[in-house]
A and B are shown apart, each in its own frame.
Chain A
């Protein structure tokens, strides 16, 4: 099986049925996963921060780094595979957005990432079909393009799916 590995701020899509898309150790980052049953295409973006306004130059170089530029960029990438450019008919799944143990949520960038992701998705009329988010543990995520299954793992926990 071919594996497309995404780092922080990377995005990618594929319709190759013998491939998977994977990203490691999400921490407070969020993986937005889009699945198109019609074209049998899957895509993922590894979002690190909510808003591109803190560094527009970075957003230009690597739009996947931010929620507000990453989701439009992923939709554009997936449109190359025949998916609807505004996301019609696409299923959304989310993973990540963890936090350190912080009673005041001061350092909870994971929560801010998730809120920003959902806000952008709503602007397209989209919402997550399923999600595995929050908590105080890091996640590694992979998509099987053939089945559309999302596999998650985290050290010390049995693997699971969403």
Chain B
């Protein structure tokens, strides 16, 4: 029997999860296409006055450090870049979903969003070190959404953290993904995949969400992207931006070296640069406007 049939309450929680806004969804569809243009992004944003206002608010925030106020959405999007537009669009329509405490992981309110945001930044930075062609902004978007399954599965893992952590420490369970499987017959990446299908996210994002802990299982067309998010996720946890009891309790898949040139010094620089960018983006997304 399918694990979702064994757990109809999880299937129901996915079906009842708030949908992304139409504009956010269209932005994700558009930016998943290799040949898209920034003008298409601008045209889409212009259809949504609330999103437009939010983008102008962010670009004029103290954290962006602009000398002069930007009043046009074209100028704002060109300055912020595609990844910031995606972050703002997703945060605008799903902030409650991403900000709720992850009780099943003993994670606090806001930790999931911060983890996803750091992973997005780090995945983008890793993508720049790819041996082949890998669009950095696509890695950012995939990183931003990779752990959506935790927002659903957390409720069904309440009270399990201590046993999960103890079993891993005693070598009875390989890692946290296995611990979730042992407990529920499914894990946060499978639940995330189902939610991604429900949200009608682009196929490539669905693949990353499903395989981000086992990128070797991703299909050839999304493998490098999935490895980028796998590494971005790990960098986020190393940088102290985990989601609670599962932080650091996953395996690094060594085959990443087939796709990326990352030396030990690169790794240190990545952590430093990503921490700085995270602090800047996080501050700009908060409501601190330039006066």
Binding site for B on A (CB under 8 A): 8, 24-29, 48-50, 54-55, 58, 65, 98-104, 106-107, 109-110, 112, 136-138, 154-158
**CB distance A137 to B161 under 8 Å?**
no
Q: Please, which residues of chain B bring their CB within 8 A of the CB of A106?
A: 252, 254, 264
Give me 21 A-to-B residue pairs in the complex whose CB atoms sit less than 8 angstroms apart, sorted by A's number.
A8-B275, A27-B237, A27-B247, A29-B240, A54-B272, A55-B269, A100-B238, A100-B248, A100-B251, A101-B175, A101-B250, A103-B254, A110-B238, A136-B249, A137-B165, A137-B248, A138-B240, A138-B242, A155-B106, A156-B244, A157-B165
B105–A155 CB distance below 8 A = yes
Q: Give bound CA distance, A60 to B251, whole Å.
A: 35
Complex Cα spacing A8 to B275, Å: 9
Main secondary structure of the interface of B (DSSP, over half): helix
B17 at the interface (CB under 8 A from A): no
Q: Give Cα A114–Cα B175 distance, bound, in whole angstroms.
A: 24
Query: Which residue numbers of B lie inside 8 Å of A, CB to CB?
Result: 105-107, 161-162, 164-166, 168, 175, 234, 237-242, 244-245, 247-252, 254, 264-265, 267-269, 271-272, 275
Pair A27/B252 contact, Cβ less than 8 Å: no
Assess the A104–B250 pair: CB atoms within 8 A: no
- Flag if B238 contacts A54 (CB, 8 Å): no
The complex places the Cα of A107 from the Cα of B252 at a distance, in Å, of 8
Q: A27-B238, A27-B247, A138-B247 are in contact. Are A48 and B162 (CB under 8 A)?
A: no
Query: How far is A48 from B269 in the complex, measured between Cα atoms in Å?
Result: 11
- Cβ A48 vs Cβ B275 within 8 A: yes
A153 and chain B: residue at smallest CB distance: B106
Minimum C-beta distance from B254 to chain A (A): 6
Cα-based distance from A136 to B245 in the complex (angstroms): 11
With a cutoff of 8 Å between Cβ atoms, the chain B residues found around residue A25 in the complex are: 240-242, 247
Q: Which residue of A lies closest to B254 (CB)?
A: A104
In contact, A98 and B271 (Cβ under 8 angstroms)? no
Contacts of A138 in B (CB 8 A): 237, 240, 242, 247-248
- In the complex, the answer to whether B254 meets A26 with C-beta atoms within 8 Å is no
Contact B252 A49 (CB under 8 A): no
Which one of A8, A54, A158 lies within 8 Å of B268 (CB-CB)? A54
Question: Do A157 and B162 touch across chains, with their CB atoms under 8 A apart?
Answer: yes
A72: shortest Cβ distance to chain B, in Å?
Answer: 19
Query: Which residues does chain B contribute within 8 Å of A29, judged by CB atoms?
Result: 239-240
* Contact between chains at A109 and B248 (CB < 8 Å): no
